[in-house]
Amino acid sequence: MYRSATILLLAVFITLIIAGCVVVPVQETQPRAEWVPIKISTKGAGAPPPNAINQAQARLMTERAAKVDAMRNLVEQAYGVTISSSTTVRDFITQNDSIRARVDAFIRGAKVVDTRYLNDGSVEVEMEITLGYEFRRIFP
């Protein structure tokens, strides 16, 4: 009885040692060398609206239009643009030609680098964004 208990205890002890020595491979998700952060910069332009109430409103609306245009340009560079087109031809003559560009994306972290006010009332805005490894992970 003493001998069978010792053998059983020794078997449990050896099993625990072997189970503790199992190596579980850990897969680290390190960025690849070509996936370094990249900086994208674009410009956007806005023109003053003809129906503005006063000069201040026209200036603010023009600045906003320039920022939105710059953000759209950033998104186009980062995500790409979906282009759809259709052409109607009749008697070998183009009747209707329609091209649509669509950008559907989310942007965060864009910064205004420079704002230029031009003599004609228009505004140019330069914006930039840094795309890191997290951005590249969404593309397989």
Tally of domains within the chain: 1
Whole-number pLDDT of residue 122 = 93
How much is the pLDDT for 127? Answer: 94
Report pLDDT for 23. Answer: 59
- pLDDT mean for each 10 residues of the chain (140 residues): 67 68 60 70 92 90 92 83 82 82 77 93 93 68
Instruction: Identify whether 124 is part of a domain.
Output: yes
User: 91: domain range?
Assistant: 35-136
> Residue 45 has what pLDDT?
93
Q: pTM of the prediction?
A: 0.62
* The pLDDT of residue 116: 95
Q: pLDDT value at position 113?
A: 94
Residue 54: per-residue pLDDT = 92
Q: Is residue 25 included in any domain, yes or no?
A: no
Quote the pLDDT of residue 1. Answer: 56
Which pLDDT score is estimated for 40? 87
- Residue 119 placed within a domain: yes
Residue 50 lies in a domain: yes
The candidate with the shortest Cα–Cα distance to 66, out of 127, 110, 129, 107, is: 127
Q: Is residue 23 part of a domain?
A: no
- Residue 91 domain-assigned? yes
Q: Does any domain span residue 18?
A: no
For position 92, what pLDDT does the model report?
79
**For position 31, what pLDDT does the model report?**
55
Asked if the structure places residue 103 within a domain, the reply is yes
Q: What is the DSSP annotation of the chain?
A: -HHHHHHHHHHHHHHHHHHHTPPPP----PPPTT---EEEEEEEEE---TT-SSHHHHHHHHHHHHHHHHHHHHHHHHH--EEEEEEEEETTEEEEEEEEEE--------EEEEEEE-TTS-EEEEEEEEE-HHHHTT--
